[in-house]
């Protein structure tokens, strides 16, 4: 569904650009600084739109567990452009936390389960130095449960200790 909306927006942006380009170019040539600013802001929308598409299509978050360390970050295809890691000896606990910002009133208003907000589930590494590192977050507990079990096993902590 997302890619359909992305394609429709891209088509609308291309049509709008084609129709307005001559008018905007004349405004930039003859107008004052506001007209030139509007022209260049409009020209920046296409590259920003393409960068957003690349980000959503090819950039993926990863978590990698080795014998003595855990690494996480983002990769673009096979190229890793952001990576952090922590050694197992520095991890005190693996936490599986839920933070609900406010009570959920949707079940009282709607009977559709899509409105049942379950909170912000976070998978957190608590370090021995007292710091916390959030590995991942999701709105559904089941989406992070396997990852929590995997990381807890790596850290030598029973999987149900903090769930």
Residue 121 pLDDT exceeds 90: no
Give one DSSP letter per residue of 48-69, joined into a string. HHHHHHHHHHHEEEEEEE-SSE
Query: What is the CA angle 107-109-111, rounded to 5?
Result: 55
Other C-beta atoms closer than 10 Å to the C-beta of 152 total 21
Map tokens 């020209």 to a residue.
43
**Lowest-pLDDT choice from 19-28, 111-120, 149-158:** 111-120
Query: Helix crossing, 33-58 with 2-30: angle to 10°?
Result: 160
pLDDT reported for residue 129:
95
* Percent of the chain at pLDDT exceeding 90: 39
Q: Which tens digits make up the pLDDT trace of 34-77?
A: 888 888 888 888 889 889 888 888 899 999 999 999 999 999 98
Strand order in the sheet with 120-127: 91-99, 120-127, 132-138
pLDDT reported for residue 163:
53
Distance (Å, whole) CA 107 – CA 74: 36
What are the sequence ranges of the domains in the chain?
Answer: 2-59, 68-155
* Residue 163, C-beta contacts closer than 8 angstroms, at least 6 positions apart: 96, 145, 148
Output 105 or 34, whichever has higher pLDDT.
Answer: 34
Output 112 or 124, whichever has higher pLDDT.
Answer: 124
Mean pLDDT estimate for the chain: 85
Residue 80 pLDDT exceeds 60: yes
Residue 24 pLDDT grade (very low, low, confident, very high; cuts 50, 70, 90): confident
- Which structure tokens are listed for 45? 């929308």
Q: Which tens digits make up the pLDDT trace of 132-151?
A: 999 998 888 888 999 999 99
- pTM: predicted TM-score of the whole model, two decimal places: 0.67
């Amino acid at each position: 569904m997302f890619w359909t909306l992305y394609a429709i927006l891209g088509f609308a942006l291309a049509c709008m650009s084609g129709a307005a380009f001559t008018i905007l170019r004349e405004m930039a040539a003859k107008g004052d600084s506001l007209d030139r600013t509007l022209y260049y802001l409009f020209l920046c929308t296409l590259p920003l739109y393409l960068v957003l598409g690349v980000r959503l299509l090819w950039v993926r978050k990863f978590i990698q567990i080795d014998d003595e360390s855990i690494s996480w970050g983002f990769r673009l295809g096979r190229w890793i452009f952001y990576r952090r890691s922590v050694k197992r000896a520095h991890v005190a606990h693996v936490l599986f936390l839920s933070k609900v910002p406010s009570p959920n009133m949707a079940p009282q208003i709607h009977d559709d389960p899509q409105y049942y907000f379950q909170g912000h589930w976070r998978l957190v590494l608590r370090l021995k130095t007292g710091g916390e590192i959030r590995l991942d977050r999701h709105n559904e507990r089941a989406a992070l449960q396997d990852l929590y079990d995997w990381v807890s096993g790596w850290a030598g902590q029973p999987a149900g200790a903090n769930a």
